[in-house]
Homo-oligomer: A and B are copies of this chain.
């Protein structure tokens, strides 16, 4: 990645087999509860995100879309991503122009990421936004969403160098 430091590049291995199926099933049941539809394109994009070892670019998803190697058309993937984000199944990482599946079990949450500039992993964590919110609201703002992306080196890359 950014720095010259070469690891075997999967601090966050993607899901396969049963784990993958289970994650998709969880999303499906959550959709049913809220009367949302996990349609084939949406499901396919979610699967690709879950299988991946790290953040996926939109055009990586487009290229990886079909089982047969057939790419999707851009709007197909962008629309699916919009849905997945809205439902909380995926997050966009602004500073990477990339997407990850949500890794937090809980329901609604405000996502934040620790992004390793060496190996490219993006670990989701549950931030404490209270101080920022307090300051912003004291200044008269009505905060709706917060994007927090911290960049640096993950434990593995920090040690190994």
> Which residues of A are at the interface with B, using a C-beta cutoff of 8 A?
94-95, 112, 114, 116-117, 123, 125, 127-128, 130-133, 135-136, 139-155, 158
Contacts and interface: CB of A to CB of B under 8 A. Distances in A.
B152 A149 contact: no
Contact of A147 (B136, B139, B148): B148
B132 A155 contact: no
A143 B151 contact: yes
Nearest to A126: B135
Contact of A125 (B123, B128, B136): B136
- With most chain B CB atoms within 10 A of its CB, the pick from A130, A133, A141, A154 is A141
Given A127-B132, A135-B125, A151 B158 contact: no
Given A94-B94, A94-B95, A141-B158, A150 B125 contact: no
Give the number of copies in the complex.
2
A6 to B, nearest CB: 18
A116 B140 CA distance: 11
Given A123-B139, A140-B155, A146-B151, 14 more contacts: A94-B149, A95-B147, A114-B141, A127-B135, A128-B131, A128-B132, A132-B150, A136-B150, A139-B155, A141-B150, A145-B150, A147-B148, A147-B149, A147-B151
Contacts of A151: 143-147
Nearest to A117: B144
B140 A158 contact: yes
Given A140-B155, A154-B141, A112 B94 contact: no
